[in-house]
Amino acid sequence: MTAMSKPILQLKNVRKAFGTLAAVDDVNLSIGEGEFFTIVGPSGSGKTTLIRMLAGMEKPTSGDILLHDKRINDTPANERPTCMVFQSLALFPHRTVGQNIEFALKIRNVDPAVREKRARELMQQLHLPADYYSKNVTLCSGGERQRVALARALAFDPQILFFDEPLSAIDYKLRKTLEKELKDIHRETGKTFVYITHSLEEAMVMSDRIGVMRRGKLIQVGSPNEIYSTPRSRFVSEFMGDVNVIPVEANGAGSVRSQSLGASFKVPANSVEAKAQCLVVRPEFLRFLDTPAEAQNSLKGILYNEYALGSRIQYQVRVGEKVFLVEKLRQQPFKGKLDDEVLIGWDPENAILVADE
Amino acid sequence: MSDSNYSVRHILIGVWTAAVLMFVFLPSATILIASMTASRYFTFPITAFGFDWWSKTINSLEVRSLAYTSLSIAAVVTVIAVVLGFFGALAFARYDWRGRKLYQKFILLPIFFPQSVLGLALLLWFNALGFTLSWKTAVLAHLVWIAPVVTLVMAIQVYSFDPSLEEAATDLGASRWQTFREVTLPVLMPGIFSGSLFAFLLSWGNFPLSLFTTGADNTLPKYLYAKMVAGYTPGVPVLGTISTAAAAIVLFGGYVAMLLLTRNRKAAL
Ligand SMILES: Nc1ncnc2c1ncn2[C@@H]1O[C@H](COP(=O)(O)OP(=O)(O)OP(=O)(O)O)[C@@H](O)[C@H]1O
Ligand SMILES: [Mg+2]
């Protein structure tokens, strides 16, 4: 785990039940000051519920939330030094861009001239044209509204900023731009960001650490690299993109066996455990072989289909009932044609054994 | 072929809509024409035009007091109905609470009560409670029917209100009251506005409830009816025209005010 700064936010056994459903279940987490922490997980896994508790819009059923080591469970949202950017953005439709950004300052009775100055600074920082100051916010484009929402939150000058999937409704190209800008703003302000997304890519690009949620539980926390290369469960590895998952059993030291494929595979000696397990091989670590000797593990299959993914090409290879994904760079030579018999393989250090859950 | 089909269809649409509009507006226009007679009696078509009855009516003290009573009732009803309707609409469409479904059904029921029966029932109540009938009891009677209408009109707007706006305001440090004043109220303003137009106009033109509950005070619709039954003069259509015109002016003024309101909001860059 990366060396963490002083914790700003700590969650101790936090749980939130709606009726009999535990939307958030026994979450323990510590978020460092200035960290960009991202929560990912499928729909309904409790991400929004968790962040709403952190922002003060929902109270935990049990457990404690600590800000700078002080319990804030019962502190209402308007007394917390935190601010949230909503998925709907929740911009005030009856207000101009400037009035939206200045809202928090107006609430604090800041002098109008000072307010305007601050709003204009933020607009400049977020690349909003200066003449938008008196434009009605409902007339702004999606990307502009996004920036206004961020500016409004920054004007509050919170210690922690929460984001609940703010970019989910935005098209791919603009989303990429805004992701970069958000990361820049994180650098410039040095504030703590807690970010929710569905998108693995978004999480990988922006975060210092990622937490994966599943059915209300936080099942793994780590740097993007850790989550990507050493997932602890089948669920996490599959959530992190296309992978090949082979259910296996232990088969002596340094070896596992797949019932369905009728084959044994070499694995790093220290990784074998007794529990039900899966062998995970990423498509980019699988390669086409000319002879079985070229890799320590190999399988024979039929080249079934191919997909161009920009700089890479992904192939589907059928081995018995199972479909394997193999990826190679476009410029690497490969002469296989569809329906050809092909040989695929990988080396033990490129596969991971994970729990089958 | 398809071109001529197209134009035939357009002609039919034009004829149809014109016929419906005639059907709806012609009667009111007749009142205007009937008011411009020089004769003493109700005849149609008119043989001699004249505006004597207009000046007589406008200068009559009785008519002024009638208009004043109708106006007072409508104004008071509007204020109270808007307050009741606003919070009623929040309960109707904004908050989840036990009994909401039941409330949603029952609050709308009075809209469909036959008004004359409602008026009679209220008359019985006022007598039982020992109230002296006056324009004030009429206000209460109007409210029984108008408050639900206003609640419904406002609830339609409240449904489109995004609750995360209030959360965002609170999150930015606003207290409950500041959130209400800075966000909830202004965002719902158009609904409040159309609700008050409804309240005013429905009260201004109401006859069946007023008939039973105004007592010695008299309103315009009630007076029109009484005069029509006994003692017709062309002052009746004059007054009818004035009453309708007043409603039209309020409606049109409201429309313009609404346009200005939304235009100001969308202050162009
Ligand atoms: N106010 C509520 N009342 C009852 N159940 C709720 C409430 N809010 C959330 N839930 C339930 O809690 C679970 C978690 O919901 P939550 O919105 O936190 O998920 P999420 O991870 O944010 O999902 P998504 O990615 O779709 O936004 C869901 O099953 C949801 O139906
Ligand atoms: Mg959510």
Asked whether residue A2 is domain-assigned, the answer is no
3-state secondary structure of A8: strand
Question: Is A295 found in the same domain as A220?
Answer: no
pLDDT tens digits for A277-307? 889 999 989 999 988 888 899 899 999 998 8
Asked whether residue A1 is domain-assigned, the answer is no
Q: What pLDDT, on the 0 to 100 scale, is given for residue A72?
A: 94
Comparing CA positions, the residue from A72, A39, A32 lying closest to residue A53 is A72
- The stretch B115-120 carries a mean pLDDT of 92
Residue where a domain terminates, one of A197, A213, A234: A234
Q: End-to-end alpha-carbon separation of chain B, Å?
A: 48
Distance CA A174, CA A127 (A): 14
pTM across the whole model: 0.82
Question: Is A264 found in the same domain as A213?
Answer: no
Q: Is the peptide bond before B114 cis (omega within 30 degrees of 0)?
A: no
Chain B residues in contact with chain A using a Cβ-Cβ cutoff of 8 Å: 162, 164-165, 167-175, 178, 182-183, 186-187, 189, 265-269
Structure tokens at A185: 């703003």
Residue where a domain terminates, one of A203, A234, A265: A234
Q: What pLDDT, on the 0 to 100 scale, is given for residue B267?
A: 47
Question: Is A247 found in the same domain as A222?
Answer: no
Domain count of the fold of chain A: 2
> From atom 28 of ligand 1, which residue's Cα is the shortest distance away?
A44
Q: Are residues A12 and A69 in contact, defined by beta-carbon separation less than 8 angstroms?
A: no
Give B84's pLDDT tier (boundaries 50, 70, 90).
Answer: very high
Asked whether residue A142 is domain-assigned, the answer is yes
Structure tokens at B109: 């029921």
Task: Work out the percent of chain B whose per-residue pLDDT is above 70.
Answer: 94
Question: What are phi and psi for residue A346, nearest 5 degrees?
Answer: -155, 165
Residue where a domain terminates, one of A214, A234, A254: A234
Size of interface A-B (CB pairs under 8 A): 75
Q: Which of A43, A48, A202 to mutate to test the pocket of ligand 1 (most atoms within 8 A of CB)?
A: A48
Nearest CA in chain A to B190: A94
Question: Is A182 found in the same domain as A137?
Answer: yes
Comparing CA positions, the residue from B268, B48, B241, B243 lying closest to residue A96 is B268
Comparing CA positions, the residue from A49, A67, A69, A48 lying closest to residue A59 is A49
Contact at CB, A139 and B266, closer than 8 angstroms: yes
pLDDT tens digits for B238-252? 888 888 899 999 999
Q: What pLDDT, on the 0 to 100 scale, is given for residue A171?
A: 85
Question: Is A227 found in the same domain as A172?
Answer: yes
Question: Is A154 found in the same domain as A54?
Answer: yes
Q: Which of B34-38, B93-97, B109-113 has the lowest mean pLDDT?
A: B34-38
Q: Please check the confidence at residue B237 and state whether its pLDDT lies above 70.
A: yes
Comparing CA positions, the residue from B181, B159, B185 lying closest to residue B94 is B159
Distance CA A90, CA A242 (A): 35
Distance CA B184, CA B191 (A): 11
Task: Find out whether the beta carbon of A233 lies less than 6 Å from any atom of ligand 1.
Answer: no
Number of the ligand closest to the Cα of A43: 1
The torsion angle over the Cα atoms of residues B123, B128, B129 and B134, rounded to 10 degrees, is 30
Q: What pLDDT, on the 0 to 100 scale, is given for residue A272?
A: 55
Whichever domain contains A302, its CATH number is: 2.40.50.140
Asked whether residue A147 is domain-assigned, the answer is yes
Question: Is A230 found in the same domain as A350?
Answer: no
Structure tokens at A334: 């490969």
Comparing CA positions, the residue from A118, A80, A138, A95 lying closest to residue B182 is A95
**What average pLDDT does the structure give for chain B?**
88
Structure tokens at B196: 């008050």
Q: What pLDDT, on the 0 to 100 scale, is given for residue B269?
A: 36
Residue B40 CB: number of other CB atoms within 10 A? 11
Q: Is the ipTM of this complex over 0.85?
A: no
Whichever domain contains A148, its CATH number is: 3.40.50.300
Which candidate from B171, B175, B187 shows the least CB-CB separation from A84?
B171
Asked whether residue A26 is domain-assigned, the answer is yes
pLDDT profile of chain A (357 residues), mean per 10: 75 94 94 95 94 95 94 94 94 94 95 95 93 92 92 95 90 88 93 91 90 94 90 87 87 82 81 73 90 89 88 90 89 83 90 86
pLDDT tens digits for B181-234? 999 999 999 899 999 999 999 999 999 999 999 988 889 999 888 888 888 888
Q: Percent helix, strand and coil across chain B, each rounded to 5?
A: 80, 0, 20
**Domains and their CATH numbers in chain B:** 53-268 (1.10.3720.10)
Residue A300, burial from CB neighbour count under 10 angstroms (0-12, 13-18, 19+) = middle
Distance CA B213, CA B229 (A): 19
Domain holding A327, by residue range, is 235-355
Question: Is A244 found in the same domain as A228?
Answer: no
**What distances in angstroms separate CA B248 from CA A38, A127, A183, B205, B220, one per listed residue?**
58, 49, 57, 11, 15
Question: Is A288 found in the same domain as A165?
Answer: no
